[in-house]
Structure 1
Amino acid sequence: MLASRNLLLALVVLLVAGLAATGYALYQEKKQPDGVQISIGKDGLQIKEK
């Protein structure tokens, strides 16, 4: 009984850690980078400071 409880607790901890890591990775992907943005379009070269 104690072994199954420990196994269940370990699985819950791994699930929470995986969700936290996935959330952090998605946050980093969507976060706008700091610095300068350079784009070339129909209006020519544009440089914007973030």
Structure 2
Amino acid sequence: PSWKMPWFKGWAIERKEGKADGKCLIEALDAILPPSRPTDKPLRLPLQ
């Protein structure tokens, strides 16, 4: 925390996979879980 934002104590999130917490934007971006991709379905590509 900085002296400009003494009220900010950080962020925390709890999910099924576990708990994540941090203090800055980079840590928040690193804590994002990518969506699961359906690997059991056929690949579909749009043709134009």
Could you state the TM-score of these two structures normalised by the residue count of structure 2? 0.27
Select the structure that is richer in helix: 1
